[in-house]
């Protein structure tokens, strides 16, 4: 199988999976929940994390802040470069007649920026917090990824790529800052 054929097959599977998932968005309560979860991964939320956690654990406020700032700066740069290199169109621009529930903030879909930032933050917090919260944080990050598909602004593989990007940069940022 040629590379082109493999990519076409992968795209077809991605579109088919997307089509099944967005059938769920006919439920109003699910759309409201997806919007809420997606909003929880907007950038402003990440500014509050060090402040709130610093109240509970003052000793981690500086390493946590430095790691999140470093990680998010690298993640945003990587996300921007990847989006503008791949230039994958969003579902409404690929599937005739499809309309997303929300309007995306930028033109391209690969990788999902909300998902990559959510997985970066989850990874950093799991590695730095003195609590076992991995399950909760990764469930939240996974729900962010799913919400982006349910809302119709990303294909599933966009969110998988975002999860891998964010997790790997989060791990790297922790290693860099805590050396």
Categorize the per-residue pLDDT at 26 as very low, low, confident or very high, splitting at 50, 70 and 90.
low
CATH of the domain at 109: 1.20.144.10
Q: How much is the pTM?
A: 0.90
Supply the range of the domain harboring residue 61.
Answer: 3-177
Alpha carbons 144 and 114: distance in angstroms, whole number: 7
Alpha carbons 68 and 87: distance in angstroms, whole number: 27
If you search the block for the tokens 């654990």, which residue do you land on?
57
Give the pLDDT score at 154: 93
Categorize the per-residue pLDDT at 1 as very low, low, confident or very high, splitting at 50, 70 and 90.
low
Of the candidates 101, 41, 108, 115, the residue with the CA atom closest to the CA atom of residue 80: 108
**Cβ proximity of 154 and 100 under 8 Å:** no
Give the pLDDT score at 56: 82
Q: Using one digit for the tens of pLDDT, what is the confidence trace for 65-94?
A: 999 999 999 999 999 999 999 999 999 888
Give the pLDDT score at 151: 92
pLDDT at 45 over 70: yes
Strand partners, 89: 108
How many structural domains compose the chain?
Answer: 1
Q: Using one digit for the tens of pLDDT, what is the confidence trace for 46-67?
A: 888 888 888 888 888 888 899 9
């Amino acid at each position: 199988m040629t590379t082109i054929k493999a990519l076409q097959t992968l795209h077809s599977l991605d579109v088919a999976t997307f089509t099944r998932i967005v059938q769920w968005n006919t439920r109003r309560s699910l759309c409201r929940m997806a919007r809420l979860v997606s909003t929880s991964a907007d950038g402003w939320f990440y500014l509050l994390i060090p402040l709130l956690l610093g109240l509970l654990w003052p000793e981690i406020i500086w390493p946590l802040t430095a790691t999140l700032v470093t990680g998010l700066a690298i993640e945003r740069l990587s996300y921007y470069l990847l989006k503008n290199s791949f230039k994958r169109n969003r579902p409404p621009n690929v599937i005739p007649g499809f309309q997303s529930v929300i309007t995306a903030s930028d033109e391209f879909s690969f990788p999902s920026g909300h998902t990559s930032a959510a997985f970066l933050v989850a990874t950093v917090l799991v590695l730095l917090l003195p609590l076992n919260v991995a399950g909760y944080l990764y469930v939240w990050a996974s729900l962010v990824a799913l919400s982006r598909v349910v809302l119709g602004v990303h294909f599933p593989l966009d969110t998988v790529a975002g999860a891998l990007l964010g997790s790997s940069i989060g791990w790297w940022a922790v290693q860099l800052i805590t050396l």
